[in-house]
Amino acid sequence: METQGEGWTEITPSGITQPYRQRLFRRCYAGLVLLACLAGGGVLVGRALTGSLSYYLTPTALLAGGAAHQAWAVTPCHLGGLVVAGSIQHGADGVVAFTLTDGHASVPVRYQGPIPDLFHEGSGAIVTGQWHCLPQRGSAGAKGPCQFMARELLAKHDERYQPPAMTDRQPGSKRNAAPSAPLPLATPHHG
């Protein structure tokens, strides 16, 4: 065994010096702390994304039935589809009724609130609300007509949409055509 003094370190039976063992312990401890922080951060990011991601159902999925079908009566959900041509009806009380379809199934929707400018027949729309079935008259427990009661309406724009400024710059655009008369040149005013 070596003596411990200035410049000397104690050698343990395993042959590892004491300062090396301390550095190794500190590095392992720092690595575990870093790993715990990364795991905690990952959990926080995962929870934040889960709450902010908005999936929407199609009319086919909403009408599929079963326990999920009944859950939409109490749990708000997003429903997306195309507005059926001829289905938009504006009521005197400000309620707008229309039908959303995904090509396989259709769902009647009622909404009261501001209507987006891009909302029209044949356009895509996403509504947030709940699925309601009215009780059928004369039959206990039987369900009558069902409709989606929306509290929010979002209109989807065409993925080919370009602002007018971009359309002006494209070749073949009517706005990009040469003017029929030359434009006057501005002359500087002196004095």
Binding site residue list for heme: 157, 161
Q: Which residues are annotated as a binding site?
A: 157, 161
* CA 178 to each of CA 164, 166, 170, 172, 186: distance values in angstroms, whole numbers, following the listed order: 17, 17, 13, 11, 19
Helices (H), 53-163: 59-62, 66-71
Distance between CA atoms of 188 and 191, rounded to whole angstroms?
A: 10
Distance between CA atoms of 104 and 125, rounded to whole angstroms?
A: 16
Q: Which residues contact 146 (CB under 8 A, 6 or more apart)?
A: 108, 131, 132, 133, 134
The SS3 call for residue 49 is: helix
